A and B are shown apart, each in its own frame.
Chain A
Amino acid sequence: EVQLVESGGDWVQPGGSLRLSCAASGFMFSDYWMSWVRQAPGKGLEWVANIKEDGSEKNDVDSVKGRFTISRDNAKNSLYLQMDSLSAEDTAVYFCAREKAYCTSTSCYLPGAFDIWGQGTLVTVSS
């Protein structure tokens, strides 16, 4: 079964740090771009960051630049999100998601669709 399982969510004080993990199973993890997407309580979805199959390319949203770092360990089938200088605005459920390439009859394109999601892990930033 294709599965993503996040862990590491916790309560942390403003200014603190946290490292989230996402364990992948049931598919060739090293063949896929991976993303983190978050959802603040009662709010919509916000993409956070993504990373290329081999970790050589990363992108992130402006609101986390310089504070969050996405990484992966293909030998461990794991995705990570190191979060530093956390603020209350970072309080959210964090989901990891697999990116499936868009394909036509002749070519495939990335970035693609978030086709598999984990169950999410809750990060609460509060004093």
Chain B
Amino acid sequence: SYELTQPPSVSVSPGQTATITCSGDKLGDRYVCWFQQKPGQSPVLVIFQDNKRPSGVPERFSGSNSGNTATLTISGTQAMDEADYYCQAWDSGTAVFGGGTRLTVL
């Protein structure tokens, strides 16, 4: 079965750039989404189709996908961005999520 691998945790200082990676075999051949989930809340779509932002998502969120790695970049990270982030792709009609990355802003 297809697998997506994320680092368990990433730390960033306020105002700096946070980078969260998601790796999978030939991931660049698939569209990737990214979700933000804060404690006790539902996931929120922040990036879809590799690099598109839904309306209402701040411009500091951006995405890329090439080769075996997709990347979520948060520029000028704010304290409110502290959350769990999940990547997701489709494989043969089934959705696959990465294990999630806890982003700490300190």
Main secondary structure of the interface of A (DSSP, over half): strand
Interface string of A12-55 (1 = CB under 8 A from B): 00000000000000000000000101000000111100100000
Contacts of A50 in B (CB 8 A): 95
Q: Which of A85-106 contact B (CB under 8 A)?
A: 95, 100, 102-103
Main secondary structure of the interface of B (DSSP, over half): strand
In the complex, how many angstroms separate the beta carbon of A6 from the nearest chain B beta carbon?
Answer: 10
Where the two chains meet, the residues of A that have a C-beta atom closer than 8 Å to any C-beta of B are: 35, 37, 44-47, 50, 59-62, 95, 100, 102-103, 109, 111-115, 117-120
Does the CB pair A44–B48 fall under 8 Å?
no
Where the two chains meet, the residues of B that have a C-beta atom closer than 8 Å to any C-beta of A are: 1, 31, 33, 35, 37, 42-45, 48-49, 54, 86, 88, 90, 93-100
Sample of 16 A–B contacts (CB below 8 Å): A35-B95, A37-B43, A44-B100, A45-B86, A45-B97, A47-B88, A50-B95, A59-B94, A100-B48, A102-B31, A102-B49, A111-B90, A113-B33, A114-B95, A117-B43, A120-B42
